[in-house]
Structure 1
Amino acid sequence: MTACGRVFDIDLGSQIHGLVVKMGFEDDVFVMNALMGFYGKCGCLDLVVKVFDEMSVRDVSSWNTVVSCLVKEYMFGEALDMFREMVGTDGVGIGIDHFSVSAVLTACSEHGAVMEGREVHARAIKFGLERNLSVGNALIGFYSKCGNVKNVVSLFNRMVVKDVITWTQMISFYMESGLVDMVEEVFDKMPKRNCVSYNSLLSGFCQNGDWVRALPMFCRMLEEGVELDEYSLAIIMNACGLHEDKSASEQIHGFVLKFGFGSNDRVESALLDMCTKCGRLSDAEEMFISDSITQNSSIIWTSMICGYARNGDPYQALSLFFKGQSENIMIIDEMVLTTVLGLCATRV
């Protein structure tokens, strides 16, 4: 069952389910938990619930599987209801573990269930689970979502063991709270940094309008040999564009081309945006018409249309828009629609 779940083999897994019934293993909680885990991996929530309802004996793993599957399917209210049933209305239901707490705290965060989240925190303390790493990370995520600075900092300071997720959550939280000066201090204390950590920092600088700090931090990222992803490049190109730093944009552009990162439409779109924001419209045009760029991508055409618009060339923007429509390339989204309507109003 575990193997089937890992390769998403629903046909073989269903046959094994039949074998389970035929051989009379339906009363074996271990087998039935594996069966629910398999259906959960394959996204078959209805079958997870069906197996759960038919179980004669359940343990904490049985309940955890259903709760986590509900969370995975964004059914946060239902996950909270299931957790309440799990612990019992009188609080003396089946015991909980770190997995239960972590899963239900995610549901509380996404559902905006502040009081329920605090109750789960109290249960975690009661069962001695607060010091567990995954529970601590889930609690920081929950209180971050609530905007509770005091509780987030207190939890972070009390955690005996911290991993890269813990530190990255703190960076994101400080950035979202506008506490930019505290972020680099936390970042420098991290024993290990990865691409996600750096991306959170770079993105936070942009969100807080502190674009000047983004470029040196990107250089530090390269010096430490951290593996980049397309999000890293999109962030730093956005920072250059917002800062309208032509020189830096040329350096970043050269870096992207040199190392072959410009091979997908998101990176190419970010390059076009950066060029048009930094007064390099001719470079953007040259790139747009070249064979090296993805010509049938709506996001690429949208970037070029917006680029013409921001550089005061409404006729080219509208011409490109109508061409994209006639060739069935353009997907009308909020950005391009707002841009085109604004151009039409300007012409009128």
Structure 2
Amino acid sequence: MTSFEWWYDLGAGFVAPADLLAGSFHTRVGGYEATVLLPALAHPGGLASFLAPPIVEAEPIDTRSEEWGTVYMVSNKHEPIGVIVRRLVLTADVDPGHLGEFVVARTLVDAMDGWWDNVRTWAEIVTGQRMTKFGSQAKTASPKTTPIWRVSRHGSQREMITYSSELPLTLDPVHGVDSDVLKDCLALAEVTPPLAWSFLCGARSLHEGAEYRRAVIDAATAAELAITRLLDERSANDWESITKMTLGRKANKLKELDYPVPQSFFDNLVRKRNKAVHDGETIDRVECDKAIVEAVNVIHDAYPLPRPPGRSQPIRRLW
């Protein structure tokens, strides 16, 4: 049996309550059972701006840094209330057998990007956090700040007051990734989220970046995937003609089959999508909000959220 240990960087990361860091979590990576360890508070109960690597059997080779994550404190009590996790540690005990250690290690590494894509998307679906940045947001979401120090009179002591940041921080209130959410998402790591949900997550990220026109187009694409699935379930013999229909025609066809497509779907999503695509009209925030709501409703029906292994209930959207 060989014990493997590796790190994985999450980019923007995710927001979580501070007590999430105390646990370890099970998952599967590349077909192997694995354990996920989260970063640790550098000074539990005290002031710490960044997270530190978790305590594992091997001696840590890194100190607290922005790469591991950020801690938010109650300013007058120095108590951690929330964290942004940006790096994970994973471990696995594997019998390499005839494959050899190098092949197993390569399998684990090669599987990580797909593993995180699934876990991240399920977490976005459940919590509503936007962990993926699209388009110009990648350039604008991480503004640099100038670090500044407090210096003693003779320059013998320097205390940093602000920190430069290359990674975006989520400032709007969001549902944190708590222990139950993380367990469920890790349990679904080998289940690829339906493309409709992925498009919807993309639409919400574009909305966050004020790219409302593109967000409406992605939301409409997600809704069209859902409606196509609902039509396929109801009229399998007419599949070829369905694939040639526009979003509006598909919605009308579904309505004819007694699915309750509300008029608001046509007003707030279909028409706004057509104006965005064909007329290049500007979409404002309120219009974008309404379009995304219409898409969510139909996606829920076409692609119900799954039940994680070992759970009695399906995951639940919190936003």
TM range (shorter): under 0.3
Which structure has the larger Rg over C-alpha atoms?
1
Which protein has greater RCO, CA pairs closer than 8 Å, 6+ apart?
2
Higher helix share: 1
Alignment TM-score, normalising by the size of structure 1: 0.24
